[in-house]
Structure 1
């Protein structure tokens, strides 16, 4: 009987751990639009669950993990401008980190401009790195990888796995 209770306790701990590891309060979508004959604007939109936030870009060292966009593969396009948020972050002094930080809540879109170098379909592969917190808990930094080809206008990263 003692071994049975040990197994039940072990099993329940595993269930709760796996559920908490799969929880992610942030869902990303990527979309693009033509901005002229040879320019493309790519939008990275985060939908953030109520009570949670992600951190801004370019935070000082020693603080939380900044939201960052990395492009590993660019085919038939080249980046013209760096990624920037389309809305202003909330900026405040965080006593835990001892510095001013910026956050985004609810929904935020980031944008980047690219030049098409060919009339053929373009390919953009990369990853988004971000950290989500809710005021009491912070999740480990997340890496959302994506592979976008121009024949599709929008990608839901959560549904694609």
Structure 2
């Protein structure tokens, strides 16, 4: 029964996702070598909201997901990494869940297959919650590599 209530809670709060924008995203690039770069995606989170981790337990909130558009000019190296964050018991989901407050930094290393300038294009799917509601969100990103 509790899982059904959580599902209803999430569905009804999704309608507010177009109005509320509890997370603002920005990007930077760090050159690691002649052919490798770290793509850095920063989340600025409004007070009282939590942004959830890349990995959450089954039955928990929706994780933060980064989807990179395929491009023959680069390849992803390893998996996306994230800040340490906080792990605590979430009474809504009745699970220990990792989340971020105020800000979060996600990094993805790429390896270039060309010397030409290119753009890394992708999207972010995420969920944020406060004490009264949850908001699912979606954002696009485009990162230029010179």
- TM superposition score category, shorter chain reference: 0.7 to 0.9
What secondary structure, in the 3-state scheme, does the structure 2 residue paired with 1:143 have? strand
Question: How has the CA–CA distance of structure 1 residues 115 and 84 changed in structure 2, closer, same or farther, with 3 Å as cutoff?
Answer: same
Structure 2 unmatched ranges of 5 or more: 1-14
Structure 1 unmatched ranges of 5 or more: 1-17, 152-161
Q: Is the counterpart of residue 109 in structure 1 residue 129 in structure 2? A: no
Alignment match, 2:61: 64
* Aligned pairs, number: 132
Structure label with greater radius of gyration: 1
Would the aligned equivalents of 2:17 and 2:137 in 1 still touch at CA under 8 Å?
no
Q: Is the counterpart of residue 39 in structure 1 residue 70 in structure 2? A: no
User: For the residues of structure 2 that align with 1:93 and 1:127, how far apart are their CA atoms?
Assistant: 29
Alignment match, 1:53: 50
Determine which structure has the larger strand proportion and give its number. 2
For residues 78-108 of structure 1, the C-alpha deviation after alignment (integer angstroms, 9 at most, x for no partner) is 10121111x2111011122121101101111
TM-score, L = length of structure 1 = 0.75
User: For the residues of structure 1 that align with 2:126 and 2:119, how far apart are their CA atoms?
Assistant: 23
Q: CA deviation at 1:123?
A: 2.2
* 74-83 or 34-43: bigger deviation: 74-83
User: For the residues of structure 1 that align with 2:109 and 2:144, how far apart are their CA atoms?
Assistant: 16
What secondary structure, in the 3-state scheme, does the structure 2 residue paired with 1:79 have? strand
Q: CA deviation at 1:75?
A: 4.3
